[in-house]
Structure 1
Amino acid sequence: MKQAFIYDAIRTPRGKAKSDGGLTDLTPFELLKALYDALEQRTHLDKNQVEDVVLGCVTQVGEQGGNIAKASLLFAGWPDEVPGLTVNRYCSSGIDAINIAAMKVMTGQAQCTIAGGIEMMSRVPMLSDKATLFSDSVQALRHRMLMMGSGADLIASLFGMSRQQVDGVAFNSQQRAAHARDQGWFTSIIPVFNPVKGIMVSADECIREETSMDELAALEPYFADIGALGVDALQRQEHPQLESINHVHTAGNSPAMADAASLI
């Protein structure tokens, strides 16, 4: 089996998925074009040699629908012959896109591939694809396909994780991200210009180094209400050793909603 080598890895800053976020005025096509252009300039890439582009994207609807891997290539002015594939494995979509692109090289199906991911949560909100698996409560309960936050609370309950421990992980994560930023370690970031706001976005907007353990502790558990509607009962039915579900996840110790894209 052949080896696959990574020649470059770039990403946009992670913009806040809010109306005042630095990237929200750009379309997903425009965000990806900034990366396609940068990748070509940085690597002196011959676009005609690219045999596949594989992107991960969870909410493939509206501006992110219609196979955004291929559609964004056309928008960016790439040759019509360059194919594109969009994959969805929820939060690991980008990782699996990279795996697929690497496997194509390793198995001899291709010599040059690009992989990455795109998600603009401010413009294409989570669950806006109205998938039956989530929008139909009967189907969701039947297949035990519940929200990730409920699953996180279940895991915390099974492994005896306390609220303080979970908040501690979140606090340390914010501090480490701020340290990495301040040390200049995020060299893969490609600054993106927002012509609507007239700003150059060059740094992650979702790092909150000012947060404290006290502030995190003051936040209410986010998934307790969903649990009270029947999710807790279903989880306890599947795991009878649990007397209750310990709801430890909040808006402060959960992943931030962001606008961002990446390419390898």
Structure 2
Amino acid sequence: IVSAARSPIGRAFKGSLKDLRADDLTATIIQTALAKVPELDPKDIDDLMLGCGLPGGEQGNNLGRIIAVQMGMDHLPGCTVTRYCSSSLQTSRMALHAIKAGEGDVFISAGVEMVSRFTKGNSDSLPDTHNPLFAEAEARTAARAEESGASWHDPREDGIVPDAYISMGQTAENLARSKGVTRQEMDEFGVRSQNLAEEALKNGFWEREITPVTTPDGTVVSKDDG
């Protein structure tokens, strides 16, 4: 990894970056990373791999390729990869594999997720799109969500189809029950994590890696919302 850059992190829907498009923001940050390697000829870049958890709406239409053209690099192919929260990490993994396989030497590994723009739609927003195969599993998850204090048993151990559409929140509940983690322990961990994050923001810990961005109304955002 010869260059890296990131934007500030904004809160969803009401945060500092809510009026920015995903493609505009990503293009700005990629161009910042490229500017740190002035000796690199853009024509030598082999591919742009963009991670996006929900690539639909403004984040649809193979956003990786859209951004390549947007940056004036029509020669550069682009792909968009979803692995939900680890989508951009997956692109770094893919770039590593491509280099080791001799498929190329220079790759852009990027990631974006603009939840604030989901009002325009996302890849999981259409109704009645779940496979009926998982209907029983989804009903089981819904019933489990209404329970309190119950233990959790992995349905796969009984050869039962798991709920492939289960939310992260319910997954966390199931894991807490499985591992015996109490609500108080989770609250204490959460408060400690939040306090550390606020302290890091106050001390400017992240400033060295943040690229300031300008919103459509001219506001310059240079810090995470917290």
Aligned mates of 1:107, 1:124 — CA distance in 2: 37
Q: How does 1:119-138 map to 2 (within 5 A)?
A: 119-124=113-118, 127-128=124-125, 132-133=129-130, 138=135
Q: How does 1:93-242 map to 2 (within 5 A)?
A: 93-124=87-118, 127-128=124-125, 132-133=129-130, 138=135, 141=138, 143-145=162-164, 146-186=166-206, 187-196=208-217, 198-205=218-225, 207=226
Alpha-carbon spacing, 1:134–1:161, altered in 2? closer, same or farther (3 Å): farther
Supply the AA of the counterpart residue of 2:180: G
Aligned mates of 1:134, 1:15 — CA distance in 2: 34
Supply the AA of the counterpart residue of 2:4: A
Report the Cα offset of residue 106 of structure 1.
1.9
Aligned mates of 1:95, 1:129 — CA distance in 2: 26
> Is 1:70 the equivalent of 2:91?
no
Report the Cα offset of residue 67 of structure 1.
0.8
What is the aligned counterpart of 1:83 among 67, 74, 77?
77
> What 5-or-longer segments of structure 1 have no aligned partner?
1-5, 208-264
Aligned mates of 1:62, 1:136 — CA distance in 2: 27
Aligned mates of 2:76, 2:126 — CA distance in 1: 27
Answer yes or no: is the 8 Å Cα contact 1:59–1:129 preserved in 2: no
Aligned mates of 1:101, 1:191 — CA distance in 2: 26
Aligned partner of residue 114 in structure 1, secondary structure: strand
Aligned mates of 2:106, 2:20 — CA distance in 1: 28
Aligned mates of 1:191, 1:131 — CA distance in 2: 40
What is the number of residues matched between the two proteins?
198
Report the Cα offset of residue 136 of structure 1.
9.4
Alpha-carbon spacing, 1:124–1:143, altered in 2? closer, same or farther (3 Å): same
Aligned mates of 1:34, 1:203 — CA distance in 2: 16
Alignment match, 1:234 = none
Answer yes or no: is the 8 Å Cα contact 2:3–2:34 preserved in 1: no
Aligned partner of residue 112 in structure 2, secondary structure: strand
Aligned mates of 2:198, 2:61 — CA distance in 1: 36
Per the normalisation by structure 1, the TM-score is: 0.69
Aligned mates of 2:167, 2:55 — CA distance in 1: 18
> What 5-or-longer segments of structure 2 have no aligned partner?
139-160
Aligned partner of residue 10 in structure 1, secondary structure: coil
Supply the AA of the counterpart residue of 2:25: L
RMSD of the alignment, in Å?
2.2
Aligned mates of 1:38, 1:157 — CA distance in 2: 44
Alpha-carbon spacing, 1:136–1:204, altered in 2? closer, same or farther (3 Å): farther
Alpha-carbon spacing, 1:144–1:137, altered in 2? closer, same or farther (3 Å): closer
Which fold has the larger relative contact order, with Cα–Cα distance below 8 Å and residues 6 or more apart in sequence?
1
Cα distance per residue 1:117-163 (max 9 Å; x no partner)? 11000102664255823899727636512111111100000111111
Instruction: Report % sequence identity.
Output: 33
> Is 1:11 the equivalent of 2:6?
yes
